[in-house]
Structure 1
């Protein structure tokens, strides 16, 4: 490793205003030279050049010890985020300017983590490696994790020797008591499915740290979790301490049921980081790593996301903080950048990638003296046959698949072609499989006599494309993967005005995009402002703002304050969204109707000037 040149930085910065996002010139940051300027001029710098190597074995600066730090203590942090029980899922990985096909599978991930740790040990003769995760290890998962209460995922994390992790929002999906049970290897309740009862229950051996989730009744972290943990690293007869702070997203109340978070407070992320950084500093810990369920992202010229915003605030609260590394999560994106003196990194999701941070701690100051961060893909065996899958983890996957095979492999329907119905949305926000989901919900509600007019679901609840095999068959497992949460569907009464308001509110920020069935609408935009300007029923008849309609939604939407559905009158209910989608595929099969992707014509963009965007058109309302 060698220090980053700063001449070009200085030349560029002389032309830039404070807080402007600039391009960097190298990966290694010598932290003693990093910005200690006042927080209002802290730089956000993209890592340049972008990650361009597919393996740590090819990374130039990771092949030798930096002579400038020969007396410092070498450290390595191997991180993942948003695993989502993706034991053997695969997909594209967009890292830097490259696209890698068919990445994923935790047995492959385990092999690459082992490879990276061996390489670090070989170069530095050091065992100072930490395997960390930033939340959402479980939840929104395929059937081989979900049907076994995610215990195979915990077995895999144990086999991969993850040491420290934090909570994401999906750890609350079945309530925090259930997550803590699978984390610690407790036995399930007597009412659990036999598949779960029969599965081995093992503790993950992973320490949970979460600083900003506390019980309302006593202000303490639940289940004995700690706000931080301290680990000691050694080399050359000297030692230093590393502190790890865990951070949950403050958006938690908008991402899970009220019953799952009602007993807890989620404290401000930036204030919490600054608080515990000071506490760690008082304990002699000057090298701090934050594991945060908050997203970071960048392109060639800029970096952004809640993680970046949080670190900017941390730097304002405490310009001399010692946070050297911020491992992000939640948005499933690629991130590798520098915010002031803090490296921020994020490695996609579902075992498609991992991040490898290597560097040094000065034993005299206890501070990071240099860090370098990279994100690498988890390549398939075909793309990288030399790297063999981890056998122990592969056995865990194979065993889980065997246990659930009878259920997930059952064919429930046929598609019109052998091509998957895609999850990805169009530019106007229409997801083919998302619209198929709401078509199914509307159909099943009407079949059951609930006289529904429309159906709506949040795009965040649609987690996968609908995969179809070569014979055009659709299995139970493929359908379950599309909507794995099991949210109960309800039919509510709404006025046309409330429906329009709900459509407008999806554009007010956050993860609120809706998939709709039974209606169509046009929307206009100016800058970041979007507004619905006309809504019709599927037959082309205008929506009456004064009329009452029946709308199928899930109970997450109904109880979520961020949407418009809270408080609407429930007039009926169906089964879970997972069960209803499976039944819809079965019903189409019984009717001799192959499943096809809906035509993307439900959301139409129209150009409009500022005058249009403030008006009330014949059957629409201004955005809330």
Structure 2
């Protein structure tokens, strides 16, 4: 199996004899185990654009045909190979999986032999009951127009989602946990325990009603609470799968292929994984992370101060996280662990003819069931592509964010809308992805669906000028302080902010203007947005104070954007309008 980066090696001498609590008394019996991890797959059955470290042009990376081929090579190299997930395997998916309720993605992961995955926040996009269906199978879905259209007898996932920090709350009338906290995998005579957690911020970033019966507790505390139980089962290694992550400082020279980047290279305000990793029991030998859609391979000290591998693999299957474990099964100890991120180079495999044909068949089937809708041409743009921001950042204004906010405003004039607001996390792809750029700058419905895969509808409501200012302040406060979400705004609305100011004082009220007229604190303004934000999603709770609320349940976000593109596509380019100014 090819290596895209040298392995980061930590031996037991560095403190990773994670599961041994007494001196070794038996002759060591080493077993080598390969762990390959996939995070933030989001049902991307086909490859998407990825730029390798140091390159200036992109390749096609990911896609089930190439991911499966990498797994096949790994298993040939070491039959003791385990395939695991870091969460967000489903949800926010392209049309060939999303329109089929992500059943194709689950079936692809089943066929690739996934054993276990951490829960991700997007697994909860359609609520707990639907997640149970995705796990266990059946057709009793909350969207029967999509469920069981890929397989009329959907059988569910053969792997298990796990989450130690997901609990039933008092309001649910239930006790205990809906998912197992850990899973022990036996391979080659070794017992490897995987303990899972999902970001505790999940209730604020999914539709609140879907998780109203659940509590999401502190990730490190929940994992630490089950470590004694795991150790009592005499496992040979413990690996944490967590859907929470971080990102590196802008000044860091590290990237996904860098071996052993320092904890000091993480952006302190954007990296919850750092504090979590520092508190997780030293019995955990390595941490496979996700959520932030970044690629890194770093060292973060455990509670004893000893370095421990924390790795994340970008998103959409571009990278596979690769751990090599040597465990002593006689004494239930970790002898060494190493880590690397492997590029899933679809372009190279396609040229070499080494894609997995079984996955090609599955992809062909999924496409055949969705192409009639996906391939409908919507418009021709004024440029080949309109982007959602460099490296998918969510803390700046983007060209596509401007377009979508404008589309919200244009599509709700009958309801008196004056300002359109869009959450950047709801913009899931460039328009179109680099791998899907077409002659004449054409975009089709599949491209629009990739941008807006959630099936959100449109809401118009009224806020006072003061409430609007308070809403904008929530971009950097509370839960958003560690994951800034800069709302994208429609044309005519402008304002400036100073990030260095204290909470509640970042937005310059005097700079807030609508069509050049200053916003009045007491005047009322009609706001167009999606139903997710209107319900207080992404921690924008001020939306729930809105009055004169109009729910346009039959006007989906894909309709809003498609209609706007049909009318204005030729004039739209990849230009950021500069409606938001950072001082």
Verify same fold: TM over 0.5: yes
Separation of aligned partners in 1, 2:380 and 2:57: 31
1:77–1:130: 8 Å Cα contact kept in structure 2?
yes
Return the offset for 1:166. 1.9
Q: Could you tell me the TM-score, scaled by structure 1's length? A: 0.79
Larger CA deviation: 275-284 vs 467-476: 467-476
Equivalent residue in structure 1 for 2:449, among 470, 480, 483: 480
Within 5 Å, which residues of 2 pair with 1:204-283?
Answer: 204-216=157-169, 217-222=173-178, 225-234=179-188, 239-283=189-233
Within 5 Å, which residues of 2 pair with 1:488-507?
Answer: 488-507=457-476
1:297–1:336: 8 Å Cα contact kept in structure 2?
no
Return the offset for 1:383. 6.9
Equivalent residue in structure 2 for 1:437, among 396, 404, 412: 404
Separation of aligned partners in 2, 1:230 and 1:496: 54
1:31 aligns with 2:4: no
Separation of aligned partners in 1, 2:37 and 2:17: 27
State the partner residue of 1:202.
155
Within 5 Å, which residues of 2 pair with 1:87-166?
Answer: 87-93=45-51, 101-119=59-77, 121=78, 127-166=79-118
Equivalent residue in structure 1 for 2:547, among 566, 569, 574: 569
Return the offset for 1:559. 2.2
Return the offset for 1:344. 1.2
Within 5 Å, which residues of 2 pair with 1:54-65?
Answer: none
Q: Deviations over 1:420-469 (max 9, x none)?
A: 111115897111111101100000101xx111110111100111111152
Q: Could you tell me the TM-score, scaled by structure 2's length? A: 0.84
Separation of aligned partners in 2, 1:287 and 1:99: 40
Return the offset for 1:233. 3.9
Q: Aligned pair in 2 of structure 1 residues 386, 568: CA closer, same or farther (>3 Å)?
A: same
Q: Deviations over 1:566-615 (max 9, x none)?
A: 222243233222222122223447xxx54444542201233xxxxxxxxx
Partner secondary structure for residue 388 of structure 1: coil
Larger CA deviation: 337-346 vs 530-539: 530-539
Q: Aligned pair in 2 of structure 1 residues 454, 147: CA closer, same or farther (>3 Å)?
A: same
State the partner residue of 2:42.
84
State the partner residue of 1:603.
580
Separation of aligned partners in 2, 1:213 and 1:97: 40
Separation of aligned partners in 1, 2:428 and 2:456: 13
| Structure showing greater relative contact order (alpha-carbon pairs closer than 8 Å, 6 or more residues apart) | 2
Equivalent residue in structure 1 for 2:525, among 549, 568, 572: 549
1:531 aligns with 2:498: no
> How many residues matched?
528
State the partner residue of 2:382.
416
Return the offset for 1:505. 2.0
Return the offset for 1:297. 4.2
Equivalent residue in structure 1 for 2:535, among 549, 552, 559: 559
1:96–1:334: 8 Å Cα contact kept in structure 2?
no
Partner secondary structure for residue 351 of structure 1: coil
1:432–1:597: 8 Å Cα contact kept in structure 2?
yes
State the partner residue of 2:122.
170
Separation of aligned partners in 2, 1:394 and 1:130: 22
Return the offset for 1:165. 1.1
Return the offset for 1:387. 5.9
Equivalent residue in structure 2 for 1:302, among 262, 274, 294: 262
2:512–2:518: 8 Å Cα contact kept in structure 1?
yes
Any unmatched runs of 5+ in structure 1? 1-24, 38-68, 122-126, 607-624
1:286–1:322: 8 Å Cα contact kept in structure 2?
no
Q: Aligned pair in 2 of structure 1 residues 96, 134: CA closer, same or farther (>3 Å)?
A: farther
Separation of aligned partners in 2, 1:472 and 1:100: 18
Return the offset for 1:524. 2.6
Over the aligned positions, Cα root-mean-square deviation in angstroms equals 2.7
Any unmatched runs of 5+ in structure 2? 1-5, 19-26, 255-260, 301-305
Q: Aligned pair in 2 of structure 1 residues 515, 211: CA closer, same or farther (>3 Å)?
A: same
Q: Deviations over 1:334-389 (max 9, x none)?
A: 12122234321111110111011112112233121100100011112347733611
Q: Aligned pair in 2 of structure 1 residues 99, 313: CA closer, same or farther (>3 Å)?
A: farther
